[in-house]
Amino acid sequence: MKIAMWSGPRNLSTAMMYAFGNRTDCAVVDEPFYAAYLAKTGLDHPMSNQILAAQPHDPQVVADALSGPNPDGKPHWYQKHMTQHMIAGVPRLWMRDVVNVFLIRHPARVIASYAAKRENPSLDDIGFRQQAELYQEVQSFGGNPVVIDSHDIRDDPRMILEKLCDAIGLDFDPAMLSWPEGGHKDDGVWAPHWYGAVWNSTGFAGAEGPLPVLEGSAASLCEEALPYYLQMAPHALK
């Protein structure tokens, strides 16, 4: 089984990769289209030069690999994807060969977290519009997409992960509830900039508190992103 997990940044996505990566039957890959996205857009991201040196720039090469054999002969392959990487020119036919899952998070939490690592994010940077579009695209080819909300995972990791595994036809493994401190061997080269908190973790953080209060451009961005989140939230596993 190939599992494509679609989220924007700052969305519990790395913790979810660690959860699946702690299963002995599951390989993982971390944002395989990142370098292709930077090469096509010319965007200046933290550690851009290292990212461009670490991954293929041709998105078709990436897509072919994602449709190919699972790494290390593992029966399952968890693919962590950022929705904002799926720009024009990035192949999508391979998405028909995977189980597509959408990891959502309230935009106020995403924006507050993202802005602490990279200033002045735009709607394109945080992936909400692209996530809703990809969800509709998977529906259009009968892919039966699954939605989970990071807020619900942090409220009750075991319950939501059991429901997720059941929804995609995978046996739940309690090993998914924890992982070794210090990161994963398959972390992307950008991990030192973005993954500090999860590197120091050994499991999912506890329940989230109230939504952060945003001001100015951050508040305006949240208003732009919120309708896309609200489109998908009713579909989340409970």
Taken in order of first residue, the domains within the chain and their CATH numbers are 2-235 (3.40.50.300)
**Taking a C-beta distance cutoff of 8 angstroms, is the pair 149, 233 a contact?**
yes
67 burial via Cβ count (<10 Å: 0-12, 13-18, 19+) = middle
pLDDT band at 216 (very low <50, low <70, confident <90, very high): very high
% of the chain with per-residue pLDDT over 70? 100
pTM of the predicted structure, to 2 decimals: 0.96
Best CA proximity match to 113, nearest among 21, 199, 13: 13
Distance of CA 78 to the CA centre of its chain: 11
Digit-coded pLDDT (tens) for 119-143: 788 999 999 999 999 999 999 999 8
pLDDT of residue 137: 97
